[in-house]
Amino acid sequence: MNNEELQSLQGVKVLVGVAGSIAATKTPMLVSNLIKAGAEVRCVVTKSASMLVSPIALSTLSRNRCFQDEDQWDPKESKPLHISLSEWAEIIVIAPLSATSLSKWVNGSAEGLLASILLASEKPIIAAAAMNTGMWQNSSVIKNWKSLDDYPKVLKLNPSSGILACDRIGEGRMASVEIIQLAIKSALITKNANLLIKKDLLGKNVLITAGATIEYLDPARQISNRSSGRMGISIAQAARFRGAKVDLIHGALNIQEPLLEGLNTFNVSNADQMQVSLRERQVSADLIVMTAAVSDLRKKRGASKNKLSKAELIASLPEELEIVPDLLKEVTSRKETNQLILGFAALTGQDEHIKALGEEKRVNKGCDLLMANPIDRPNEGFGENNNGGYLLGPNNMSIKLEVQSKFELAHKLIDHLLAFKSKNS
């Protein structure tokens, strides 16, 4: 997902707060990317953060002055700086959020400019925590971080695992720049008139399949398709941002690796492996979304151990090929009463043909809803940043979803799924 897919942030006013964590060295890249996406950016650094990242660099990258604690009280200004910055911003991003700044925030301390802004703000806030693993696992930090669950305007980004600046391996790394950008977009999409961020999937388990499966013919050849997995990943991250625990079973993907952060991922290669993984995880799911493009054909007795000549390949295929299991149909056959299942169908042709064929597939496969999306049109479908089509359901339900970014479409689909579940529960 590039900046275009993340959607232009043209004119969006983003206040970036930088606390004292070594992860502050990554913040300039975030600021640079936000500027490239068209956002207006202002930065605030704590005293400790200014020792890790240059305020001058942030000023240069943001094209605006970078504010520090000593700027908070200026007799020349008619309004306190923490108030004016809070009012100016449409969204606030704290990247990184340190243990110290987190503690000040949840305990109501206004010591310092950033701390004052967090208390004064009435805008959506993205909180990207980053610290040493030992600090992150400290009971006080755990308690403080959990406290943010009660803040309806805050979207929390847990740190990821990896090697830290102290050479320790564990949780503590700040969420990637790509994930922070996506979280910003998510907050802007889901905020309501009162600037509350949707958390309507809290406590829900979402199971998603994505990407392309591969069926090998021999060590050199395979049957697959052009699916990039972007639609499934977009739905997975949108659901995660809205509070869900997400299990993602995926085949081959063509996306940026950081966009899998925060998801429970299960990498599979072929239809059999995806089938096994689905059987293991379906029982705990509240919502199941089947976006994976499963290969239709495979060799009956598996791939040849040796590479076949062209003549051998052509001669063997008519007798050797078979249809792979219908994974969506199998999942619907095991559906629990509390589960809602959304299938996807990649189709071609005119709209009326797509709707008719999509509805036929929905009924045949037994899913509650089916997203019928065309793949033969410019700038949508397989491998593209955008998607659209028709969301089909019982009682002649047909909702046209205009072509839009896959991430925006992901949120629209979740909205429709929750509305459908509420209406039919």
Q: Count other Cβ atoms within 10 Å, centred on residue 56.
A: 10
Angle, helices 113-120 vs 99-106, to 10°: value is 40
C-alpha 20, offset from chain centre: 26
Alpha carbon distances (Å) from 35 to 9, 125, 131, 411: 9, 18, 26, 24
Which residue of the set 43, 66, 166, 367 is catalytic? 166
Length of the chain: 425
DSSP H helical ranges for 322-382: 327-333, 351-365
Are 69 and 47 contacting, i.e. CB atoms less than 8 angstroms apart?
yes
Alpha carbon distances (Å) from 44 to 80, 131, 152: 14, 19, 23
Residue 166 known to be catalytic: yes
DSSP 141-177: HHHHHHHGGG-TTEEEEPPEEEE-TTS-EEEEEPPPH
- Catalytic positions, written as ranges: 166
